[in-house]
Structure 1
Amino acid sequence: MGRMNNFLVLMAFCLLSFASHAAAATGTATFYTPPYVPSSCFGFQDNGVMIAAASDAIWDNRAACGRNYRVRCTGGTNQGVPEPCRGDSVVVRVVDYCPPGCRSTIDLSQEAFSQIADPNAGVINIEYEQV
């Protein structure tokens, strides 16, 4: 009976793990540099450095303000930096708007981008999900 319970727990864990990855959307990320205030969402309020600007893909007519997203690098977009990903994910808060013409789905602060990828890459492929 113990083996069956262990098997069921393992299967449940695998299914939950798969479901969390299935919910992630894909896109691209760039980064911007300080100063980070003022921002479209919070004016002159300091929101730290683990922040992002949302493109039209997630802006949702300002509804994205204050949302948190987990962002993970999945690969480079150019040959200049063959493997830019650093293997971690980062959680950022949307505090700003990346206007039309934005080169990415989400524009991360330089500090957030640096945690998940080599800044020399400039633009990376990502998976992201609201948390």
Structure 2
Amino acid sequence: MGLEMRVLLVLAMAICLPSAAYAADGTATFYTPPYVPSSCYGYQNDGVMIAAASDAIWGNRAACGKRYRVTCTGATNQGVPQPCKGTSVVIKIVDYCPPGCRGTIDLSQEAFAVIANPDAGKIKISYTQV
């Protein structure tokens, strides 16, 4: 491969790097129905794969409608059996979890159950906007 072709290949790879997904770490809790009204959409029913955003991602309603892939990464309490199910879930932000919120993302009960045992109550997560 010629030098020019190698330079172009390296440049193409460098340009693509910033678009690589960055997963943030946080915690998740869950809330139970009813899920309406919500801060973002009032009485609109957005299903059950939804969540409320804490101040960490709320951004004065900027988080409304954004979708995140959430993966359980472990227990928040020492000595608790592994709560994670080894899966991830894509949720839509539809609500606000006010100051004092126990997690970065407050998942619907159904979304939480996809990725972890609800008996855990609070889990460590990684999340990426999709």
TM value normalised by structure 1: 0.83
Q: Assess, with a 3 A threshold, how the Cα gap between structure 1 residues 45 and 84 changes in structure 2: closer, same or farther.
A: same
1:76 and 1:111 map into 2 onto residues whose CA distance is: 18
2:107 and 2:25 map into 1 onto residues whose CA distance is: 15
Give the AA of the match of 1:29: A
1:12-65 alpha-carbon deviations (Å, 9 max, x no partner)? 9xxx8xx54xx1000000000000000000000000000000000000110000
Over alpha carbons, which structure has the higher Rg?
2
Shift of 1:109: 0.2
Within 5 A, what are the aligned runs for 1:1-131? 19-20=20-21, 23-79=22-78, 81-131=80-130
Displaced runs of 4 or more, over 4 A: none
1:126 and 1:112 map into 2 onto residues whose CA distance is: 13
1:81 and 1:30 map into 2 onto residues whose CA distance is: 16
- 8 Å contact from structure 1 (residues 51, 108) kept in 2: yes
Percent same amino acid among aligned pairs? Answer: 75
The Cα RMSD (Å) is 1.6
Give the AA of the match of 1:50: M
Runs of 5+ unmatched residues, structure 1 = 1-11
Shift of 1:79: 4.0
TM value normalised by structure 2: 0.83
Runs of 5+ unmatched residues, structure 2 = 1-12
SS in 2 for 1:41: coil
1:80 and 1:124 map into 2 onto residues whose CA distance is: 13
Give the AA of the match of 2:56: A
